Amino acid sequence: MARIVAGVGCSHIPSIGAAADNNKEQDPYYKPLFDGYAPARQWIKGVAPDVVILVYNDHASAFSVELINTFVLGVGDQFKPHDEGYGPRKVPDVQGHGELASHILESLILDEFDMALANEMTVDHGLTVPLTVMFDKPDAWPCKVIPLCVNVIKYPQPTGNRCFNLGRALRKAVESYPEDLKVAVFGTGGMGHQLQGERAGLINQEFDQNFLDHLLDKPEELTKLTHVDYLRDAGSEGIELIMWLMMRGAMQSPKAAYRFYHVPMSNTAAGLVCYEETA
């Protein structure tokens, strides 16, 4: 039986990827961040997941304004990095797990989570930066990756509660897959930030730290946050944190292995949590 063994919450700020791609990890601006990532990279080697279900959002890359889906699951066997304006990131192609993803897709829809399906799509920094954060710069990513893309750009985004419950359904889907596989779920994005408008640059460390405190032990409290709570207090792009709730929903009895928080990275607060499943 496949099992969810670990969860990761991880910011996916594009400048982290750019810093790694340009070997700037030791620059004074980036060093504290990459130093903070070192224990998580060590930890994930021990976890050694066979598959990562990576919950992220597309930033007007594979998807555009013609068609906006709330949840998309990538069932393809391979996903290439998207050209976000600078040429595609020179990171390995992402190898999917089409068979497990197909099983998850069917399980979720039968569980009344109506996912859209992508046989082919490119993946942007939302997906590739967390892989860089956790796995550094390998010639090939050390595991298969199933992309689960959430609309967090266009209002209304799915509620945090919906994401949390989808996470629970994800767990059920994984546990009903017969092959022995170790699965990790990454919830990415955030933490607090606002890129747009006169309020650009907003960071609310109190909100972020409270979110990190509650995510482990009292996620139900966080599922009550409304859209306007996120938009107002975490910044308009801080609503990406609903994707961390999906990861948390997929974990039953997590134990925190690591927590790291750093301000600023570009215009954003960077957070990282690593959870181990004890159930």
Catalytic residues: 125, 193
**Nearest approach, Cβ of residue 221 and another protein (Å):** 20
Of 64-72, 91-99, 130-138, 176-184: span binding another protein (CB under 8 A)? 64-72
Q: Which of residues 163-182 bind another protein (CB under 8 A)?
A: none
Using DSSP's 3-state secondary structure scheme, residue 174 falls into: helix
Assign 246 to helix, strand or coil.
helix
Contact flags string 72-111 toward another protein, x per CB under 8 A: ----------xxxxxx------------------------
Measured from the CB atom, is 46 or 86 closer to another protein?
86
Least distance (Å) from another protein to the CB of residue 92?
21
Distances (CA, A) of 258 to 51, 92, 200, 255: 20, 26, 30, 9
Give the contact letters, 194-233, x = binds to another protein (CB under 8 A), - = no: xxxxxxxxxxxx---------------------xx--xxx
Block residue for tokens 């209304």: 156
CA 253 to chain centre: 19
Instruction: Pick one of 9, 47, 61, 250: the residue that binds another protein (CB under 8 A).
Output: 61
Least separation, in Å, of the C-beta of 9 and another protein? 20
Q: Whole-angstrom Cα distance, residue 82 to residue 62? A: 7
Nearer to another protein, 182 or 232 (CB): 232
Question: In which residue are the tokens 């181990």 written?
Answer: 276
Number of residues that bind another protein (CB under 8 A): 42
Cβ of residue 267: shortest distance to another protein, in angstroms? 6
Taking the mean position of all CA atoms in its chain, how far away is CA 3? 19
Q: Considering the complex, state which of residue 41 and residue 199 has its C-beta at the smaller distance from another protein.
A: 199
For residue 141, CA distances in Å to 124, 166, 191 come to 15, 26, 25
Other beta carbons less than 10 A from residue 207's beta carbon: 21
